[in-house]
Structure 1
Amino acid sequence: MVICISQELEYLQDELIKRGYTVINNRENNSSCDAIICKLKDGGLINLNMQNNIRREGTLIIDSGSKTIDEIEYILCNRIYNSLF
Structure 2
Amino acid sequence: MLQDQCSLSTLSHDQCYELFKAIGIDYGPGFQGIDRLYIGRNQALAELSLPAGVTHTLNEFVLHPSMADSALQASIGLS
Q: Same fold (TM over 0.5)?
A: no
Query: TM-score, normalising length from structure 2?
Result: 0.36
